[in-house]
Each structure stands twice: as C-alpha cells, then as structure tokens.
C-alpha cells in the first residue's frame, strides 16, 4: 500500500514538473498579457459583441501561437540562457528537457494555434498569427545578438496581437486596427529599454544588444524612452478620433500617457536602476489602464 502511494506521488510529481517546464518554455505569464491585447483588439471592432466561446477560442489560439514563438526563442537561446542568472533555470539550459521535445512542442502548438485562428475566425487572422510567430522567433530572436535594432524588429510581432484580434473580428486591416497596433508598437520601446536597463549586465554577458546608441544604460537611452512615451499621448487619442472608443477613454489615455512620460523623464533625471524599474512597472500600468478604459468605453 505504501509502495503504491509512493508510486502515485512520484508520478504526480513528474507530471506536475513536466507541466511546469512546459509553462516556463511557453512563458504563459507573459503570453497571457499578449493574448489579452488580442482580445481587446477583437472586442473593439464595431458591431462585435462579447461572446464567451469566441473569446475563449481567441485566447486558445493566441496562447498556442505565442507559446510556440516563445519556445522557439528558448531553443535559439539555450546556450546564452546558461550565462544569465534569471534564465539558467529554464528547462533547456538546465538540462531538464532536450531540444527534440521542445521542437515538437513548438511545432504542435504553432500549427494548432494557426489552425484555431483560421478555422474559428478567418484566414487573415491566421496569416497574421503566422507572420507574428515567424518575425518573433526567426527575426527578433537572432537579431538580439547583432545590434539594438532588435527592439524595433521585436516591436512588430509584439504589437501584432491587437491587429490579429481586430482581423479576427472585422476580417480586414482598417485604420481602427492600425490605431490600436500603433499604441502597443510605441509602448514597447520604453518598456523593453527599461527591462534591458535593469538586466544590462546579464544581457551583456550573453552578448545581447538591446539598448540604443552605445548599447549602455545612459541618458541617451532614457531620452529615447521619453520620446516614445511622448508619442504615446497623441496615439492614445487616435481610437477616439476614429470613433472606436469614447471621450472618457481618450482622457484616460492622455492622463496615463502623462504618468508614463513622467516615469521616463524621471529615468533621464536619475539615470539609475530604481528609476528604470519604476518605468518598467509604469509601462504595465499604462497598458492595462488604457486597454481596460478602451474596452469599457467602446463607442
């Protein structure tokens, strides 16, 4: 009896460990935020009403595609991940999973996600999902070793979820979708530069070039971040001008943009890691508040 219980506990532990490894490989915490943006894009399409089944299908498709891209990212970076403290414990660099298993996972989830988007929504959203996956996994990921333009390359797939969600609901790429895309596109520069500032030593050790200019955390980087946060203020009003959202969300976007800009200016003034960390958290606050306001104030 004791032996049977031990075997069951051992099996349960093995399954739980494997699920945890898959979750780390697909970066489910990060992916959830990405997929939420896709749902926002979908629900903001004029005439689209909330449908739980459709939202869950969009979540499933987005999770699978984003999870596939993140898995491929970690396959590419399994050797450099060993050099960074925060990534050395991931399944591939730690040796808990082999590359073949990760490749199978990436292939199955990628194909399944694109199928869900094409079958349950439309071919346009499936095509955009494929483009996003390829850009993130095969352009942005290796580019991080070449130069800081990787952030520009990565901003396209990073903002694509909103366009994918819009296409899933509208089956077109009209100005409304592009206005939502523009907000998240601009948002990513101060967001990623704040992260790269905090993790500069780790990134440098791995050979990643994520910061502009000389590639070091300095006032030039902070100035660049401030410029993009400034551009977010008019970009946040665009959905209102296109009659996608109401005036309240436009006011919220302006106020959130000013708050975000203040954090970026603070980084320029102080030029240190604590200010960069505040900017990073400020980026999460900005995007969450703006997207929720847009959803609640749909025109």
- pLDDT (tens digit per residue) in 187-230: 999 999 999 999 998 888 888 888 988 788 999 999 999 999 99
The answer to whether the Cα torsion of 50, 52, 53, 58 is positive or negative is: positive
pLDDT, averaged across the chain: 91
The answer to whether the Cα torsion of 279, 281, 284, 288 is positive or negative is: negative
| CATH code of the domain made up of 12-172 | 1.10.357.140
pLDDT, tens only, 111-153: 999 999 999 999 999 999 999 999 999 999 999 888 889 999 9
pTM over 0.85: yes
- Whether the CB-CB separation of 142 and 16 falls below 8 Å is answered with no
- Whether the CB-CB separation of 73 and 141 falls below 8 Å is answered with yes
Q: Which of 25-39, 189-203, 208-222, 237-251 has the lowest mean pLDDT?
A: 25-39
Residue 13, pLDDT > 60, answer: no
What average pLDDT does the segment 245-267 reach?
97
Residue 9, pLDDT > 60, answer: no
Residue 202 makes CB contacts below 8 A (sequence gap 6+) with: 83, 84, 85, 86, 87
* HSE toward the beta carbon, residue 85, CA cutoff 13 A: 4
Q: Which of 9-23, 83-97, 132-146 has the lowest mean pLDDT?
A: 9-23
The C-alpha angle with vertex 120 and arms to 117 and 125, in degrees rounded to 5, equals: 35
- Whether the CB-CB separation of 182 and 41 falls below 8 Å is answered with no
270/24: higher pLDDT: 270
- Rounded to whole angstroms, what are the CA distances from 184 to 40, 103, 154, 202? 12, 29, 12, 26
In whole angstroms, give the CA distance from residue 122 to residue 48. Answer: 15
pLDDT value at position 2? 47
pLDDT value at position 20? 84
- Rounded to whole angstroms, what are the CA distances from 183 to 18, 81, 166, 298? 37, 31, 14, 16
Structure tokens at 285: 């606050």
Helix axes 175-198, 273-296, angle to 10 degrees: 160
Residue 294, pLDDT > 50, answer: yes
pLDDT value at position 252? 98
What average pLDDT does the segment 41-56 reach?
95
Query: Would you call 201 exposed, middle or buried from its count of C-beta atoms within 10 A (0-12, 13-18, 19+)?
Result: exposed
Query: In which residue are the tokens 């943009």 written?
Result: 257
Query: In which residue are the tokens 């954090």 written?
Result: 263
The DSSP symbol for 278 reads H
What average pLDDT does the segment 248-263 reach?
98
In whole angstroms, give the CA distance from residue 238 to residue 290. Answer: 12
pLDDT value at position 205? 85
pLDDT value at position 18? 76
What average pLDDT does the segment 20-32 reach?
81
In whole angstroms, give the CA distance from residue 267 to residue 12. Answer: 47
Residue 28, pLDDT > 80, answer: no
Structure tokens at 93: 């660099």
pLDDT value at position 7? 52
What average pLDDT does the segment 226-250 reach?
97
């Amino acid at each position: 009896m004791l032996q049977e219980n031990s075997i069951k506990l051992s099996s349960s532990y093995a399954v739980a460990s494997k699920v945890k490894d898959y979750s780390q490989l697909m970066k489910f915490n990060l992916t959830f935020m990405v997929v939420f943006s896709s749902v926002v894009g979908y629900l903001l399409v004029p005439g689209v009403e909330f449908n739980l089944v459709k939202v869950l299908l969009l979540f499933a498709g987005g999770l699978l595609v984003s999870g596939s891209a993140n898995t491929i990212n970690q396959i590419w970076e399994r050797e450099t991940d060993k050099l960074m403290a925060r990534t050395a414990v991931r399944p591939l660099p730690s040796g808990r999973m082999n590359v073949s298993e990760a490749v199978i996972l990436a292939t199955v989830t990628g194909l399944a996600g694109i199928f869900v988007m094409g079958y349950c929504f439309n071919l346009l959203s499936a095509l955009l999902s494929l483009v996003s996956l390829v850009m993130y996994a095969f352009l942005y990921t290796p580019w991080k070793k070449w130069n800081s333009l990787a952030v520009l390359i990565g901003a396209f797939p990073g903002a694509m979820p909103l366009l994918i969600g819009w296409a899933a609901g509208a089956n077109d790429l009209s100005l409304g979708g592009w206005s939502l895309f523009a907000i998240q596109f601009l948002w990513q520069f101060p967001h990623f530069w704040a992260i790269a500032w905090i993790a500069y030593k780790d990134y440098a050790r791995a050979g990643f070039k994520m910061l502009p200019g000389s590639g070091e955390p300095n006032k030039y980087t902070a100035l660049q971040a401030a410029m993009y946060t400034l551009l977010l203020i008019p970009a946040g009003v665009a959905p209102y001008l296109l009659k996608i959202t109401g005036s309240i969300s436009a006011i919220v976007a302006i106020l959130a943009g000013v708050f975000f800009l203040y954090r970026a200016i603070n980084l320029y003034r102080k030029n240190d890691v604590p200010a960069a960390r505040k900017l990073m958290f400020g980026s999460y606050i900005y995007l969450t508040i703006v997207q929720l306001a847009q959803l609640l104030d749909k025109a």
